[in-house]
Chains A and B, each alone.
Chain A
Amino acid sequence: MSILKADHLTIRFGGLTAVSDFYLDLEEGELVGLIGPNGAGKTTVFNMITGVYHPTQGEIYFRDQKITRQSVDKITALGIARTFQNIRLFANLSVIENVMIACHLRIKSSVLSAAFGLPSYLQEENYIREEAEKLLKEVKLENFKNYVAGGLPYGEQRKLEIARALATHPKLLLLDEPAAGMNPQETKELMAFILEIQEKYKLTIILIEHDMKVVMGICKRILVLDYGKTIAEGNPEEIQHNPEVIKAYLGVEANYA
């Protein structure tokens, strides 16, 4: 079943076409890589899918429902979550609060019941705390739960960001350069971690990554963007030997080999 369909998305900022005619039909359970040189428009694609930017042309369907021009929080509620290239945790809040924020969606009680501290509200409040603790345990961050998020080691911050995204119960997870700034050991753990959560939460994942070992290692299908255009699509093998891709990357392929 198709979970996400980006139907010929084009976005222009003034005279600049950041992404043009982007097409992606994503099957449930896929792990797709999105690669390309800096400024190719990869993050812009994420921003369109999550509703932060609205495409100039084209439509986005999530499980056959049109989500173009929906508000960001509604799209999140439908089941799309993301992480960021430059970590964007709530650095001054504690680790557990970061996750609790993302549990909000599933809370029904109103502002008024909160203001009066009604039992139904307190119950839900406890429930999200437990949920958040469970999630932290799964990503092995439970010992840090009362630490300030900004004080965690870099690799742990990346993990927390993923945990926070998971707390919104996504069906589609967008990971924006999760391995950026990680050492080889951390990167290896991250790859295992991504596969593990994909399996466990039945996720469909789109991954933006510059580390070719990661992309080639875990993605079955890869899309290559350059100057906003999709210049290649295929499995890792095909992508590595695609002359267009080699040209765009100027020798990255050689490094990988």
Chain B
Amino acid sequence: MSLSIFFQNLINAISLGFLFALIAIGYTMVYGVLRLINFAHGDIFMMAAFFVFYTMTIFSLPWGIACLVAIVLTMLLGLSVERVAYRPLRNAPRISSLCSAIGVSFLLENFAVVVFGGRPKSFYCPEFFTKTFILGGVRVLGINFVTPLVSIVFLSLLSYLVYRTKNGLAMRAISKDFDTARLMGINIDRTISFTFMIGSGLAAVGAILWASRYPQIWPFMGVFPGWRAFTAAIIGGIGSIRGAMVGGFLVGFISIMLVAFLPELAGYKDAFIFIALILVLLFKPEGLFGEE
């Protein structure tokens, strides 16, 4: 493999890694506060792409504004899912909320099939995203510049929010000790809503970038990115935001580099991601950055 092709793959892997990180954070944050795997997260991601599509086609809004609207709508969707499907089960056994999460996932997917239709739709993105640039012999797609930049902005915002603000502090307090946090006067419901909004918002950003990269959207588009991001969160150590970022990168690298170096194994891409998961679970079950 020539050096320029290697760099091309590297840039691809970084870009994809950021995408997985954005999605994985939604899993890890919700797990942090509720000890619940939000299986509907991948479908919330899918809905975000459709929100962009329909705000553009129905209200003929420009792309940028449609994206903003879609992010807000997705945040509201995440908020409502928590209200309707998880909050009433707050004191129920863990397994009930887990079932509820899977239920929401199927509900959203089938809702999308019925309402949006099962046939893939093409996703509009600015011309710049699909343009190829040649830098020192390396061919780089526009989207591969945009993804890391946008991700860095949002991930920094997130770090600021979680580590520097009182809402973030409340979130961290809840994830450490739910009951004591309440006794400190923290409004648990509000903080959990906030967590879902942030996680869903990041998923929406991820969905827009994802759909710009693979410009077709359909009701099951969230399933595999969801599973991979979930794997990324587990590998990094579920509950840890830093872990989700690192796990996301790892999954991104495996996806791209495996295909690049061993093209004959390309079809087993996901198998390798899950092998990585199994290895981590065997040797460091709390994940790379997780707490024991």
Q: B-contacting residues of A (Cβ < 8 Å)?
A: 50, 52, 71-73, 76-77, 81-82, 84, 88, 90-93, 97, 100-102, 104-105, 107, 111, 114-115, 117, 121, 124-125, 128, 164, 168
Whether A104 and B170, one on each chain, are in contact in the complex, defined by CB atoms closer than 8 angstroms, is yes
Interface members, chain B 171-191 (any A CB < 8 Å): 172-173, 176-177, 179-188, 190
Whether A101 and B194, one on each chain, are in contact in the complex, defined by CB atoms closer than 8 angstroms, is no
Whether A111 and B167, one on each chain, are in contact in the complex, defined by CB atoms closer than 8 angstroms, is yes
CA distance A81 to B169 in the complex (A): 19
Given A84-B180, A91-B176, A125-B185 contact (CB < 8 Å): no
CA distance A81 to B173 in the complex (A): 17
Given A114-B161, A125-B165, A128-B166, A104-B172 contact (CB < 8 Å): no
Given A90-B176, A114-B166, A128-B166, A101-B181 contact (CB < 8 Å): yes
Given contacts A52-B182, A88-B179, 14 further A-B contacts (CB under 8 A): A72-B179, A73-B187, A77-B185, A82-B183, A88-B177, A90-B176, A100-B166, A101-B169, A101-B186, A104-B185, A105-B185, A107-B166, A114-B165, A115-B161
Q: A-contacting residues of B (Cβ < 8 Å)?
A: 160-161, 164-167, 169-170, 172-173, 176-177, 179-188, 190, 194, 197, 291
CA distance A222 to B175 in the complex (A): 37
Most buried by B among A101, A115, A125, A168: A101
- CB neighbours (8 Å) of B182 from chain A are 52, 71-73, 76
Task: Tally inter-chain residue pairs, CB-CB below 8 A.
Answer: 75
Partner among B164, B173, B179, B186 whose Cβ is within 8 Å of the Cβ of A93: B173
- CB neighbours (8 Å) of A101 from chain B are 169-170, 173, 181, 184, 186
Whether B166 and A90, one on each chain, are in contact in the complex, defined by CB atoms closer than 8 angstroms, is no
- CB neighbours (8 Å) of A117 from chain B are 160
Partner among B176, B185, B187, B194 whose Cβ is within 8 Å of the Cβ of A102: B185
- CB neighbours (8 Å) of B172 from chain A are 90, 93
Whether A76 and B194, one on each chain, are in contact in the complex, defined by CB atoms closer than 8 angstroms, is no
- CB neighbours (8 Å) of B181 from chain A are 101
CA distance A81 to B181 in the complex (A): 12
CA distance A124 to B161 in the complex (A): 15
Closest residue of B by beta carbon distance from A72: B182
The 5 A-B residue pairs with the shortest CB-CB distance, nearest first, are A105-B185, A76-B185, A72-B182, A102-B184, A90-B176
Most buried by B among A72, A81, A121, A125: A72
CA distance A92 to B182 in the complex (A): 17
Rounded to whole Å, the gap between the CB of A85 and the closest CB of chain B is 13
Partner among B180, B186, B291 whose Cβ is within 8 Å of the Cβ of A88: B180
Given A88-B177, A91-B176, A101-B173, A125-B166 contact (CB < 8 Å): yes
CA distance A107 to B179 in the complex (A): 20
CA distance A117 to B184 in the complex (A): 23
- CB neighbours (8 Å) of B179 from chain A are 52, 72, 88
Closest residue of B by beta carbon distance from A115: B161
CA distance A87 to B258 in the complex (A): 49
- CB neighbours (8 Å) of A50 from chain B are 183
Whether B194 and A90, one on each chain, are in contact in the complex, defined by CB atoms closer than 8 angstroms, is no
Rounded to whole Å, the gap between the CB of A166 and the closest CB of chain B is 12
Rounded to whole Å, the gap between the CB of A50 and the closest CB of chain B is 6
Given A101-B170, A111-B190, A115-B161, A90-B185 contact (CB < 8 Å): no
Rounded to whole Å, the gap between the CB of A219 and the closest CB of chain B is 23
Closest residue of B by beta carbon distance from A105: B185
Given A81-B183, A90-B176, A93-B176, A114-B188 contact (CB < 8 Å): no
